[in-house]
Structure 1
Amino acid sequence: MSTRRNPGTDIALVAAFAALIAACALLPAIKVAGPVPVTLQTFAVLLSGAVLGSRRGFLAVLLYVAGGAAGLPIFSGGAAGLAVLAGPTAGYIVGFLLAAALCGAIVERLPRRSLVSPIAIFLAGLISSAVFIHTLGMAGLVLRAHLTWAQAWDVDKIFWIGDVLKNVAMALVATAVHRAFPDLLGRPVAARTEAQREGTPAA
């Protein structure tokens, strides 16, 4: 049985993963066709959800976005400010938030034995990336870069191979973390639900 999480530990983990996302955003980007560069942000965003769970993963990305919007030069290429959130990459940034939350929600619901298998975590990351990052990213290109959906797809499809590779790396790292810290996510959702039915405290 896992213990209740310490709020101070949660805050520290959220801050640490927000810093990780910022560091990955500031690593040299690969310029490809279109206005969106290839960075390691997706790796860090989905790792936040896979390691911290839905709520804390979302908060880590939110802290990163808030820091960049407030003027810290932590968006891709050292960009900062609210203008970035109104630019052609805005859809991807919004997608980061929701993808971290979805990836975390899926991983939280995995049987604990699946947390030491990178395949399940890889699929959680790939699904989350496809549902939110790519979909909202293309929507942002249509709305902010004035592309057609076909043109937005031509830009976005370039990122798919890289995202598969980044999700492989994310799953391997997340698996190693869960092996080392098996109680990091707290109780599985199913266990919490059962405990609530029985009237016992849930972690």
Structure 2
Amino acid sequence: MERNIVYIAVFAALIAALGLLPKVTLLSGIPITAQSMGIMLCGAMLGARKGALAVLLFLGLVALGLPLLAGGRGGLGVFTTPWAGFLFGFPVAAFATGLSMRWMRGARVGVAAGVASVFGGIGVLYLIAVPYYMAMTGAALPDAIATAMIPFVPGDLVKAVVAGAITGTIYKARPRAVMSRA
């Protein structure tokens, strides 16, 4: 039990730390950050439930006003922007990534984590973020996909590969640390 709490807290801190990396803001105003890779790692490393809990802890701290999002943003206001669908999708994406790891028990850990990150950390995340963007802006589906999805997919694919490599490397060194496989 205590080990689980520590892992959840450490991964919430990891998501926050990844927000310290410089963000790149597109012309649309959407920031590209490394924090989505943290979401992928939460699911791949901790599994569905604990991964989602780590993300919820992180989002709770953001809601309390801690400036943990990329660019030092925090507070309830960040949950009211057209891009908040990504924030609302983060715990679901971590859960889906962890669940995918369970489904791919027979695959090599690094490969499974990369594929799970693509499914959960990209696919599931955009299934939430794009409709939310549409609802908040009134954009049609093609416009929402062009603005809130397509510019990010190449970077997200790189993050999924890196998350898979990190998870596979940690598994080789300390198999029990990858709780999605323990």
Give yes or no for TM over 0.5: yes
Match of 2:175 among 148, 172, 182: 182
* CA distances 1:147-185 after superposition (whole Å, capped 9, x unpaired): 222221111101010011011100000111112222335
Query: Is 1:78 aligned to 2:78, yes or no?
Result: no
Match of 2:166 among 161, 173, 177: 173
What secondary structure sits across from 1:183 in the alignment? helix
| CA distance, structure 2, for counterparts of residue 187 and residue 178 of structure 1 | 10
Alpha-carbon contact 2:43-2:180 (below 8 Å) kept: no
What secondary structure sits across from 1:77 in the alignment? coil
The 1:24/1:145 distance shift into structure 2, 3 A limit, reads farther
Task: Determine what percentage of the aligned residue pairs are the same residue.
Answer: 30
Alpha-carbon contact 2:21-2:34 (below 8 Å) kept: yes
User: Structure 1: which amino acid aligns with 2:170?
Assistant: V
Query: Between Structure 1 and Structure 2, whose CA radius of gyration is higher?
Result: 1
Alignment TM-score, normalising by the size of structure 2 = 0.91
Alignment TM-score, normalising by the size of structure 1 = 0.82
| CA distance, structure 2, for counterparts of residue 95 and residue 120 of structure 1 | 21
The 1:33/1:153 distance shift into structure 2, 3 A limit, reads farther
The 1:27/1:171 distance shift into structure 2, 3 A limit, reads same
Alpha-carbon contact 1:122-1:171 (below 8 Å) kept: yes
Which aligned pairs between 1:1-203 and structure 2 lie closer than 5 A? 7-111=1-105, 114-115=108-109, 118-155=110-147, 156-185=149-178
The 1:187/1:82 distance shift into structure 2, 3 A limit, reads closer
Alpha-carbon contact 1:108-1:185 (below 8 Å) kept: no
CA shift for structure 1 position 48: 0.8
Structure 2 runs not aligned, ≥5 long: none
* CA distances 1:48-70 after superposition (whole Å, capped 9, x unpaired): 11011111100110000000001
Structure 1 runs not aligned, ≥5 long: 1-6, 189-202
Q: How many residues align?
A: 181
* CA distances 1:114-133 after superposition (whole Å, capped 9, x unpaired): 22xx2222111101133321
What secondary structure sits across from 1:111 in the alignment? coil
The 1:79/1:146 distance shift into structure 2, 3 A limit, reads farther
* CA distances 1:44-91 after superposition (whole Å, capped 9, x unpaired): 110011011111100110000000001101122111111111111111
